[in-house]
Structure 1
Amino acid sequence: MKEYYDVIIVGARAAGASLAILLGKMEKKVLLIDKASFPSDTLSTHFMSHTGFLDKLGILEQLEHTGLRKVGRMRTYIGSSFVEGPRTSYTIIPKRDKLDHLLIQKAQKFSSVEFMPQTSARELIWEEEEVIGVKLLVNGELQDAYAEMVVGADGKNSNIARWAGAEKYKSTDPIRPVVYGYFEGVAPLTEPVTEIFLHEGRIGFVFPMEPGRDCLGIEVHPEEFKPMMKNPEFTFKQTFNQFYRMEERLKNARLEGKIIGTPGMPNFFRTAYGKGWALIGDAGHSKDPCTGLGINDAFMQSFLLADAILQIDEGSLWTEVMAEFAKQRDRQLLPGFQMTLHYIQSLRKWTDNEVALFQSIAANPMVWNQMLPNFFKHLEEDSLDFPLLHQAVEMEAEHFGFKKES
């Protein structure tokens, strides 16, 4: 017996599960599959620049009740100096086993959504040049499932993208290895603060999660990755202790689990759709995690695609709607992509003069408060005729906690 669905979503983490929720609200018949069982963790930046998507998806309150700290400030260190400011909104920093599992549970509350864990997509089913379904491996047996659209939300190494022939563009190879771990007992600051350390061309991160647990991460130089992973816990702590006051704060800290590392994330866009298929999340767009935009980008793509499907239901032409979906996806993601590449490629050891300048600014709040808002104001004025640049400037201004004047 053939199974027919409106949409089959391959990959049930942030992108795929959030799309299932949105389509469930539209009463679409959805099959959501993933090769993993849940709850389970995955490689992630964890950081969410705002909570608006979580609220719209209906899981914010439940996620907050798991004990996550609300983080309302951001601090950047260079050497022994730092600047700190409030964010325009608070964020929470969940582990992916909690976030993804809550999203899946929310999707399953809709009777039209079916979830199948530990289920793999094996190949696409084609009718001439159009995708009409997926061959699934379920409990060791192959099954055919058919749909009007197959969505690949299966990560940067997406099988759906490969089988569909989705081409990469604006591609840049991985630039920086990323190493991170969860630590208990890190001496906390007075209030939860996202901390960024720029030191000797490396980037360190402290992400406050629940009270008593923090995610610590480092983007290291490429040549440091293999030696670090030979004795990861020791070399990770040794490197992190070089950041301002972290040796003191890590004295009583304990690693939870193991250090996780990757040689780096590829940076690319992929063709967003074709006849009968579409890509969202890292399957469609991937970039270095240093700017922490990945989860929010995944949600944004889910909302865009759900809106496109709604427009098609209301009678708009499929070709026009999907072309606009791809255009809007790139328009929304390109500023962050460009900013991320520029940021990571420009990292280097600061000169003594640059450190001295930063210290003089950081030590005088009046100078900082007067200079930076004017800096963004002039950038905004200069970029009004360039929408993508204008968005990037607004994103960076929000990162520093400056609201645009109405």
Structure 2
Amino acid sequence: MKQYDVIIVGARVSGSSLAILLGQQGKSILLIDKAAFPSDTLSTHHMSHVNYLERLGVLEEVEATGLRKIERMRTHIGESFVEGPRSAYTIIPKRDHLDHVLLEKAKKEPTVEVWEQTSVRELLWENDRVTGVVTENRSGHASKVEGEWVVGADGKHSNIAHWVGAEEYQSHKPLRPVLYGYYEGINPLPKPTTEIFLHEGRIGFLFPMEEGRDCLGLEIHPEEFKSMMKHPEERFEAMYKELYGMDERMAGAIRIGKIVGTPGMPNHFRQAYGRGWALIGDAGHSKDPSTGLGINDAFMQSFLLAEALEQEDVESALKTFQQKRDEQLLPGFQLTIDYIRSLRKWTTNEVALFQAMAANPMVWNKLVPNLADHLKEESKDIPLLHGSVQMEAESFGYKPQ
């Protein structure tokens, strides 16, 4: 039976990035995924912290498809909007490309072995400690593989988390359905800009990808999902064209592929480690995609876990890993829950108030410092909802001292 230092189950953003980091430490790694790559997956797409890609040595390759550097953000309420520069540029890669680049980078590490189209069927145990996995490939061949540590990077419905009985906390049921699709030929703004539309209690997202291609997203009311999925393309486009200016901007657009949707994402933290096992990515922490933090959160967890597994006293280091993970993710998690719960149809008076403030930069300059003080430094790029105003602090010229 072959033995590894770490077996990673799940080879997308969190799993592949962890394999790269641990491979660079010289550890023997087995990276397993049931999918064949390149392949797509449900995603928020938004990468507001490209420094993770730079540190992994893949930024240039990820950007090689011609991804636009998005340096502005615009928020619409009704027929008014506010817009400003971001503190750093954002890119919006398709997941089949991003995940494939990371996986290929992992394969180049001499101590990393990759098994695609292979499922993990169960865990191996010795007393109360996880010691490995039982796998099955596409031909039906089963293998037992031992590892000092098994890491679940297998998504929000993680089998690893289920098998080890990882405790959930800060749990909230799925709040809102979300759907998205790729379009070519959307009439663009003068500069690449992330756009958020707040309309009738729904959220619309427009993410510029490569030149001429955009990702359009909608977060809708729960009661709308069933009827939406009966005719998803037709209903999605009709609803999206209700957003300010999008009827004209979508006039010559062509949809590429299908509309992808989910009735909602679970919102929770899970116990991040135990005897012989650990969880990262959506397996350890999942939340509503409206704030677009999922990919960045996955990278952050991979870097924290790689640091922990490099320590001499790994058990103590894993305790610190969970503490750091929760400290860094809890503010964004609470903000996301509050944000979604507060969404509703805007009253005429609230829209009028927003329009008045949006038309007066002096008012924004007075408001922004007070709102920004509620954010921690690491959360300054998170869109927030405060009263009847959604904004991003640095988008309006305020920089915390």
Query: Structure 1 length normalisation: TM-score?
Result: 0.94
Mapped to 2, the partners of 1:365 and 1:403 lie a distance apart of: 12
Judge conservation of contact 1:8–1:149 (CA < 8 Å) in 2: yes
C-alpha distance 343-405 of structure 1, shift in aligned 2 (>3 A): closer
Alignment partner, residue 387 of structure 2: none
1:146-295 pair list within 5 angstroms: 146-295=146-295
Residue 355 (structure 1) aligned with residue 325 (structure 2): no
Mapped to 2, the partners of 1:128 and 1:300 lie a distance apart of: 32
C-alpha distance 346-376 of structure 1, shift in aligned 2 (>3 A): same
Judge conservation of contact 2:331–2:379 (CA < 8 Å) in 1: yes
C-alpha distance 81-395 of structure 1, shift in aligned 2 (>3 A): closer
Amino acid at match of 2:99: D
Judge conservation of contact 1:122–1:134 (CA < 8 Å) in 2: yes
Alignment partner, residue 8 of structure 1: 7
Shift of 1:375: 3.6
Alignment partner, residue 331 of structure 1: 327
Amino acid at match of 2:24: K
Alignment partner, residue 30 of structure 1: 29
Alignment partner, residue 77 of structure 1: 76
Shift of 1:237: 0.8
Mapped to 2, the partners of 1:68 and 1:22 lie a distance apart of: 25
Flag as ranges the 4+ runs of structure 1 deviating above 6 A.
Answer: none
Mapped to 1, the partners of 2:113 and 2:260 lie a distance apart of: 32
C-alpha distance 278-34 of structure 1, shift in aligned 2 (>3 A): same
Q: How many residues align structurally?
A: 392
Judge conservation of contact 2:369–2:398 (CA < 8 Å) in 1: no
Shift of 1:405: 4.2
Alignment partner, residue 99 of structure 1: 98
Mapped to 2, the partners of 1:393 and 1:368 lie a distance apart of: 17
SS in 2 for 1:98: helix
Judge conservation of contact 2:11–2:153 (CA < 8 Å) in 1: yes
Shift of 1:366: 2.8
Pick which of 281-290 and 139-148 moved more: 139-148
Alignment partner, residue 88 of structure 1: 87
Mapped to 2, the partners of 1:394 and 1:288 lie a distance apart of: 17
Alignment partner, residue 400 of structure 1: 393
Alignment partner, residue 367 of structure 2: 371
| 1:234-267 Cα shifts (integer Å, max 9, x gaps) | 1111100110000000011111011111000000
SS in 2 for 1:106: helix
SS in 2 for 1:229: helix
| 1:170-191 Cα shifts (integer Å, max 9, x gaps) | 1111010001100111111101
SS in 2 for 1:83: strand
| 1:65-116 Cα shifts (integer Å, max 9, x gaps) | 1110100000000000000010000011000000000000111111100111
Judge conservation of contact 1:87–1:400 (CA < 8 Å) in 2: no
SS in 1 for 2:327: helix
Shift of 1:336: 0.7
| 1:267-300 Cα shifts (integer Å, max 9, x gaps) | 0111101100000000000000000000000000
C-alpha distance 399-28 of structure 1, shift in aligned 2 (>3 A): farther
Judge conservation of contact 1:335–1:391 (CA < 8 Å) in 2: no
Gaps (5+ residues) in structure 1? Answer: 381-388
Amino acid at match of 1:307: E
Alignment partner, residue 109 of structure 1: 108
Mapped to 2, the partners of 1:151 and 1:374 lie a distance apart of: 41
Judge conservation of contact 2:380–2:393 (CA < 8 Å) in 1: no
Residue 320 (structure 1) aligned with residue 342 (structure 2): no
SS in 2 for 1:255: strand
Judge conservation of contact 1:85–1:400 (CA < 8 Å) in 2: no
Shift of 1:403: 5.8
Judge conservation of contact 1:176–1:220 (CA < 8 Å) in 2: yes
Mapped to 2, the partners of 1:321 and 1:7 lie a distance apart of: 16
Identity within the alignment, %: 62
SS in 2 for 1:47: coil
Pick which of 138-147 and 218-227 moved more: 138-147
SS in 1 for 2:132: strand
C-alpha distance 228-373 of structure 1, shift in aligned 2 (>3 A): same
| 1:191-219 Cα shifts (integer Å, max 9, x gaps) | 10000000000000000000111000000
| 1:5-58 Cα shifts (integer Å, max 9, x gaps) | 000000000000000010111011000010000000000010012211111111
Mapped to 1, the partners of 2:255 and 2:393 lie a distance apart of: 31
Judge conservation of contact 2:180–2:215 (CA < 8 Å) in 1: yes
Question: What RMSD over aligned residues (CA atoms) do the two structures have, in Å?
Answer: 1.5
SS in 2 for 1:6: strand
| 1:364-400 Cα shifts (integer Å, max 9, x gaps) | 22322343134424x46xxxxxxxx675568569943
Alignment partner, residue 132 of structure 1: 131
Mapped to 2, the partners of 1:310 and 1:109 lie a distance apart of: 20
SS in 2 for 1:49: coil
SS in 1 for 2:310: helix
C-alpha distance 403-279 of structure 1, shift in aligned 2 (>3 A): farther
Mapped to 2, the partners of 1:338 and 1:88 lie a distance apart of: 23
Mapped to 1, the partners of 2:353 and 2:144 lie a distance apart of: 64
